[in-house]
Structure 1
């Protein structure tokens, strides 16, 4: 669980440690020191003391390096989720608890209505950190609770919490939301489920998703993020342009956030777009030996060999063997160029799964998204896990 040391997270720690003790479960509390306050080291130490006193394991994490002068809360949130995701996966966890309350959900709604790019809080959702949070679900068991009730629990147990002065700094959107909503009864969080079930995705392991043209716009936004391997879904005007394109009856091709959408009759095929003018995407990347490595946000690859590099097949198809070209011929044309190949020191090219353990991430990521917005929480045992090595490649054919 994420533990800031504030009242909400301390109340969640107290309740979760009781639950874990009864169930015989291990509980790891993770505290991120953002380095934004002179007292942050002391706050982190106090959080660790409280976690251990309540019977949880604890680990402190630090957001180091330069901090942005603009968009600091969003950058801090992104860094926090990435650090927590990495640490949770390393510990072998599948679920991370966050202590968001009914007031947090109301404040997020207030901020979003005024243009802040922040998502709706759900009681269960995939980690927003990518690729650090792959295969992890976030649960928010306090989303229907009020802060005042949690403070009452802490007083009853004699627990003291930290008050971050940034929570009252009107330079930031959340404190302004908190001030604007002060005294109002927070509404019960609303996370409407989509009345939509995604079709089977037989090519998801190769990085290809296919949706009906009538799928919700949010499904296309999620598919684009998953197929392009990026952290966030497209939104705003670019998504509105896609909505208008989908409403037109004609077949067409659209590109969006690194993805290619092929509108063909009643179906839309979403693939990774590889272009020579995107040198960062097509350039070979050294493959670290002995540890899983996420490439292009879409595949997890692991090999014990030294000196290998991973790259898309784009511009390298002619160097592949006849057998590899025959294998790729079963994929859509654009998907062939985006499929990963390994380059050896002699510059020989081979499909990555021939020489390494490889796992496609597009399908599992999209599946978790579809289930969460459909109101379903997967069981822990169903969540993808590759902490001690990548899952062997599941051959498509």
Structure 2
């Protein structure tokens, strides 16, 4: 909660609804000199309503470029980690109908910002693994929310960054981008859409599909297989679909490889991207490379991509890999010790990409399904 009009209205409406216990998370970004006062205002409101407030701070140096995007990522990741520590899986956000219209206008300008949905998985990965966002206000305009707060005599803050023309969203607001009645109706219906998924799960963090699907589903497949959270641009997806129809059989995008395979298409991690320019796959918590949950005994060990270490594996491990496509094989994690390497024991490694895909496509529809053990554990890797 920022203390702005949208988040204050959301908290008051949830409090008046009164059907669930609430907890507020607020972040001091340390950017605006008044941010500490804004946090104290949120804490005061929470105290007045009897709602616990967890205050978080984005510490450390701030980037010179891309500050707003970095602050957004930091804010969400801090909140997701704090919520997970309290066993909270669903976070309510104050996005409204104006945000839907602004996001559409930003995409028209070439931005990769997603479309806010009533119910969706947290887009930041892997901090958002198994976490979901609920946006109850998408059918209501920003002006109407503020009119309600003003009529009730409830104060809120206006972050001056929202009017800074350096940022695309602020420029679009100044140009008068406003939601239409159609935007407000469709926003409230977006979570009712169930997507049929014709995808073969492998348990090896890759997908096999009979044909390349429409751009939205292709985007989800690519992002999940690639292990990151950067969304492809629409032009990039259109290029893949056009070039594949013309006969091209391999593409690389957002850390994923898309290639023709056994009469269909294989979408997997691009092993060449994993160690390019001296980089190494990240391990955040117990998630490695955004694709696998590793067992506790491996947290302190050295985990590397199998590429470049396949010949160091013992014969029984190489036999286990025999049926996998070369790219999938090369992108698997192995435990390295000195000059030797070993696969994880069967069942010790969990592939989290399939459940992530199900969530991205709207097939995890509510809190009960999100918290189901089958969703949280992932697929065991043989």
Q: TM-score range by the shorter chain?
A: 0.7 to 0.9
| CA distance in 2: counterparts of 1:136 and 1:197, whole angstroms | 22
The reply to whether residue 337 of structure 1 matches residue 347 of structure 2 is no
| CA distance in 1: counterparts of 2:291 and 2:322, whole angstroms | 20
Whether the 8 Å CA contact 2:102–2:177 is kept in 1: the answer is no
Whether the 8 Å CA contact 1:364–1:384 is kept in 2: the answer is no
Alpha-carbon shift at residue 101 of structure 1 (Å): 0.9
Secondary structure, in 3 states, of the residue corresponding to 2:200?
A: coil
Secondary structure, in 3 states, of the residue corresponding to 1:134?
A: coil
Alpha-carbon shift at residue 64 of structure 1 (Å): 2.6
Which sits farther off after the overlay, 136-145 or 320-329?
Answer: 320-329
Alpha-carbon shift at residue 73 of structure 1 (Å): 2.4
Whether the 8 Å CA contact 1:122–1:140 is kept in 2: the answer is yes
The reply to whether residue 138 of structure 1 matches residue 133 of structure 2 is yes
Q: 2:269 aligns with which of 268, 272, 286?
A: 272
What is the CA deviation profile of residues 112-136 of structure 1, one whole-angstrom value per residue up to 9, with x for unaligned ones? Answer: 2223332222112211111111111
Q: 1:39 aligns with which of 27, 34, 42?
A: 34
With the length of structure 2 as denominator, give the TM-score of the two structures: 0.87
Match for residue 352 of structure 2? 361
| CA distance in 2: counterparts of 1:179 and 1:40, whole angstroms | 24
Match for residue 326 of structure 1? 319
Secondary structure, in 3 states, of the residue corresponding to 2:260?
A: strand
| CA distance in 1: counterparts of 2:140 and 2:179, whole angstroms | 15
- CA pair 316-30 structure 1, distance change in 2 beyond 3 A: same
Match for residue 394 of structure 1? 380
Match for residue 312 of structure 1? 305
- CA pair 360-153 structure 1, distance change in 2 beyond 3 A: same
The reply to whether residue 197 of structure 1 matches residue 196 of structure 2 is yes
C-alpha RMSD of matched pairs (Å): 3.0
Secondary structure, in 3 states, of the residue corresponding to 1:245?
A: helix
| CA distance in 2: counterparts of 1:82 and 1:186, whole angstroms | 33
Which sits farther off after the overlay, 190-199 or 156-165?
Answer: 190-199
What is the correspondence of 1:213-228 to structure 2 with a 5 Å cutoff?
213-228=211-226
Match for residue 257 of structure 2? 260
Whether the 8 Å CA contact 1:7–1:151 is kept in 2: the answer is yes
| CA distance in 1: counterparts of 2:326 and 2:109, whole angstroms | 42
| CA distance in 1: counterparts of 2:61 and 2:302, whole angstroms | 30
Whether the 8 Å CA contact 2:199–2:207 is kept in 1: the answer is no
What is the CA deviation profile of residues 199-250 of structure 1, one whole-angstrom value per residue up to 9, with x for unaligned ones? Answer: 14230x31111223241122222212111111212215433321222222x4
Which sits farther off after the overlay, 257-266 or 129-138?
Answer: 257-266
Alpha-carbon shift at residue 157 of structure 1 (Å): 4.4
Structure 2 unaligned residues grouped into runs of 5+: none
Whether the 8 Å CA contact 1:284–1:309 is kept in 2: the answer is no
Alpha-carbon shift at residue 5 of structure 1 (Å): 0.6
Match for residue 5 of structure 1? 3
Secondary structure, in 3 states, of the residue corresponding to 1:119?
A: coil
What is the CA deviation profile of residues 148-201 of structure 1, one whole-angstrom value per residue up to 9, with x for unaligned ones? Answer: 332344345442211222222233222222222278866524467888521142
- CA pair 183-306 structure 1, distance change in 2 beyond 3 A: closer
Secondary structure, in 3 states, of the residue corresponding to 1:107?
A: helix
| CA distance in 1: counterparts of 2:364 and 2:270, whole angstroms | 32
| CA distance in 2: counterparts of 1:276 and 1:118, whole angstroms | 23
What is the correspondence of 1:1-397 to structure 2 with a 5 Å cutoff?
3-19=1-17, 21-22=18-19, 25-155=20-150, 157-181=152-176, 187-189=182-184, 190=186, 197-203=196-202, 205-248=203-246, 250=247, 252-264=249-261, 267-275=264-272, 278-279=275-276, 283=280, 292-304=285-297, 307-344=300-337, 346-353=338-345, 357-371=348-362, 378-383=365-370, 391=377, 394-396=380-382
With the length of structure 1 as denominator, give the TM-score of the two structures: 0.84
Whether the 8 Å CA contact 2:97–2:179 is kept in 1: the answer is no
| CA distance in 2: counterparts of 1:377 and 1:324, whole angstroms | 35
